[in-house]
A and B are shown apart, each in its own frame.
Chain A
Amino acid sequence: MANPAHQLGRFTGVIRGAAAAASRALGIWLWVIVFAVVFSLISSHFMSILNLSNVTRQASIFALMATGMTFVIISGGIDLSVGSIISLTSAVFGVMWKMTNNLALSIVAGMMVGLLSGTTIGLLVGFLEIPPFIATFGMMGVGAGLAFAVTPSSISGFPAGFEFLGNGHLFGVPFPVIIAIMAGVIFHFLLRRTRLGVHILATGGSESSALLAGINVRARKLTVYVINGVFASLAGIILCARIRSSYPGIGKDLELDVIAMAVIGGASLVGGSGSVIGALGGALFLTMIQNLFNLIGLYPFMQKVITGGLIVVAVMANQSRRRRRSQAASDVIRASTE
């Protein structure tokens, strides 16, 4: 019998089920889509090609940092030094260019900063068992100070070709976006489909079990900090290309934003779970919000208040989803054992 109330109940049930399924499959990307629709209603400029290419370009630089950070957080660690690594990369890159006028050499020198600082942190955390918070807090101070010691001023005058790295387009898509998507896809597969990725997940999930399973936990920790350092340096170089100059304070205060992006994307701060695709979404989410605030001319203080609130809400939504899923899993287990 077709009972209207019953049908309505079924209808809302279907909607709710579909929403739950969408949120399961998409995670933060669902919110990115919802917010994008809402934002385009709030500001007519939001969906313009120029603005979209601007937002995605900005977001893709953050996405590179958030990808590296996701690996660190999955391993059960944290990295407070990314902002400083970016600053130091920028400074070293600029000084190298000024000294040699050799672009390739300057880029290599800049990338070496991330490689070396990542290795240092990895050795401290993995092999000397210094808590990641402390090791990277120390590196944060070292990087920020050294950047200004290397050069206190901003350097510009790079060749036009270099600018392409930050401001160019390929088939109409901003070049940094292409880099970020490529890096995202590669590292998503690295995390989900390779032995290294599984080992990193296991290390963060339970270090003692990973050790018992014969995983070289120390080497895995070293690996994640090296990955993170290299990503930070890559982002630093692209940032230089985007603003056509290097500046030793360029990465100041970025670290907490990047951590927030990774966590919004689903990385758990206790380690063991997280997603590269989610981190890209987290980066886009926060950048989009900042962009809208600028478009509608919101006061900076209100921007801060709302950003702070949204970070909390996004993680809360993420958590309740995770809880529901684990609840569903335990229901299945209970049903199968009864």
Chain B
Amino acid sequence: MRRLTEPARQYFSQYGILVWIVVVGLVFSLLSRRFLDLHNLLNIVTQSSIIGILSVGMTLVIITGGGGIDLSVGSIVGISSVTMAMLIIPPSYFRDTASMLSLSVTTMTLVKAVGVALLVGTACGAVNGLFISRVGLPPFIATLGMMITARGVAAYVSAGMPTYGMPKPIVFLGQGRIGGIPLPILIMLVLGVIGYFVLTRTVFGASVIAIGGNRETAKLSGIRVKRILLIVYALNGLLAAVAGIVLTGYGNQAHPEAGALSELYAIGAVVVGGTSLMGGKGGIIGSLLGAILMAEVQNGINILNIPVAYMQPALGTLIVLAVMLDQWQKRRVVSE
């Protein structure tokens, strides 16, 4: 019997968050008949996809250790969103935001806009990476500076105003479906799978984990620590830009304040998913599940018509509880 239950227990101690998703789901489906509905379940995963996309890069950043964290991703979401929108609008339409609905956009403009948005995100991430790897700033401070700066530039680029009505292809990225599955979910899954393989099956991934485990040892064994750090933060900026573009399509608007606070939720998803803030260990699957768990709670609270004021307390309590249980379980595994 022991031999049979042992793999399951190990699995749960690794992905204990799955248990949480099921338990929370059971509670909500007992409380409301509308919860356990295929449409609603798809909704939950769609809602989790922005934080999910962000959490893929954030997992890598946190695994590099040494206080590795990126507070700027929310602002990068905002800056890439408005950069793209401003490149799509012809200057003559500037600030006449509603008129975009009737605009016909050439493919070339669209490619340019998306390309520049991705480039801006990557550049922000690379600047973070340079300050952290070359100047030796604590990641918290370097990315806090970027968080404030990028938000300011986003307000400047957009003149502080939201832009409504995106071209069809962008809206398709956020609202479209392929084979019945919403596109944001597919994008999150594809990026998650790529991230998983990069982290677990490539030399680069092994280097990231080694840096987080022990930076000195990694350096001595020939890993180019500075370069890896730069790449990790640049990648995180790129992923934040992707999230920004998907979010723009999902809401059919570009907003200079888009993505505010999402950095903290992304970090929350990563940690709830079992990645240690000390660095050196963690996984992307857990982070995606963490994002889904948070979206599930938000969705349940909406369905149950609980006042919005209790949404944040519920999420906060849940995150702390999940981490607490996770640690308790790990300690039990270790003591055995």
Contact = CB atoms under 8 A, between A and B. Distances in A.
A149 B148 contact: no
B267 interface: yes
A138 B323 CA distance: 11
Given A141-B316, A145-B309, A270-B138, A301 B323 contact: no
A138 B320 contact: yes
Contacts of A305: 148-149, 152-153, 156
Contact of B141 (A152, A260, A304): A260
B309 A149 contact: yes
Interface in B260-316: 264, 267-268, 271, 277, 307, 309-316
A308 B149 contact: yes
A256 B71 contact: yes
Contacts of B309: 145-146, 148-149, 152
Contact of B144 (A124, A139, A311): A311
Nearest to B328: A128
A145 B318 CA distance: 14
B323 A134 contact: yes
Nearest to A133: B277
A131 interface: yes
- How many B residues are at the interface, by size bracket? 35 or more
Interface in A257-307: 259-260, 263, 268-270, 299-305, 307
A286 to B, nearest CB: 11
A53 to B, nearest CB: 27
Interface in B114-142: 131, 135-138, 140-142
Interface in A129-152: 129-131, 133-135, 137-142, 144-146, 148-149, 152
B67 A138 contact: no
A312 B145 contact: yes
A139 B156 CA distance: 33
Contact of A133 (B136, B152, B271): B271
**DSSP class of B's interface residues: helix, strand, loop or mixed?**
helix
B310 A145 contact: yes
A124 B320 contact: yes
Contacts of B324: 124, 128, 130
A137 B319 contact: yes
Contact of B315 (A135, A141, A308): A141
Contact of A311 (B136, B141, B153, B314): B141
Contacts of A315: 137-138, 141
Q: Which of A260, A305, A307 has the most CB of B within 10 A?
A: A305
A130 B320 contact: yes
B141 A301 contact: no
B145 A311 contact: yes
Lowest 4 CB-CB distances: which A-B pairs, in order? A141-B316, A304-B152, A308-B149, A308-B148
9 contacts: A124-B324, A128-B324, A137-B268, A138-B319, A139-B320, A140-B264, A301-B156, A305-B156, A312-B142
